[in-house]
Amino acid sequence: MRVIDISMPIHEGMETYRNDPARRPRIAAVRRFPEGGVNESELSMNVHTGTHLDAPLHMVDGGEGIDAIDPARLVTRCRVVDLTGVRGPVRRRDLEPLDVAAGAFVLLKTANSFTDVDGDATVTLAADGAECLVERGVAGVGIDALGIERGQPGHETHRTLIGADVLVLEGLRLAHVPAGEYTLIALPLLLRGADGAPVRAVLVEDL
């Protein structure tokens, strides 16, 4: 088998949502050789920075935290779909021709995977695209954007997916991944009551 890392590296200069510097992680030395006898570092970061999983609490007041999500749902077969030709939000018309089965975890590979800039050209998932995937009965949606929607006052895309118990995985890196079927392993940190959590996401390709 082959394991393919689809996670964003965590570092202080990394890409963040809307290139907001306040969302960049801070990594500080706590102890260092030789004076401290060991090397230790401290990490401070937003739970929605880099590759991460949204919890219902992210969009629903009183919703469940990340620790309530069954980890078995994040070790699953998935399908990577190539949408690199789409400009603007991914819409129903872009998804309807795809062979997406009920229960699938779908990863949307877009032009985002080929840039380190999060800006106006970032490809997201439109509300009608989210409705299409819910109608197909998908179990989860992943995207190579740091936010699955942009500029929606009511966050319709998020609310449509989360309201249908569809998992939302954001911040993937898929430039090196061909479209096709894989096993996804994307386990979030077990942060009690948190509205999201960082994820080390990998695809396993059976040889």
In whole angstroms, give the CA distance from residue 168 to residue 186: 11
Q: In the numeric block, which tokens belong to residue 11? A: 């570092």
Domain at 158, CATH number: 3.50.30.50
Q: Which of 11, 48, 52, 58 is catalytic?
A: 58
Encode pLDDT of 15-62 as tens digits: 999 899 999 999 999 999 998 899 999 999 999 999 999 999 999 999
Query: What letter would DSSP give residue 189?
Result: P
Encode pLDDT of 167-206 as tens digits: 999 999 999 999 999 999 999 999 999 999 999 999 999 8
The pLDDT of residue 207 is above 80: no
The pLDDT of residue 85 is above 80: yes
- Any catalytic annotation for residue 176? no
Number of domains in the chain: 1
Domain span at 137? 2-9+46-205
DSSP string, 121-176: T---B-HHHHHHHHHHT-SEEEESSSSS--S-TT-HHHHHHHHTT-EEEE----TT
Q: In the numeric block, which tokens belong to residue 121? A: 């050209």
Region 104-110 average pLDDT: 97
Full-model pTM: 0.96
Distance of CA 127 to the CA centre of its chain: 17
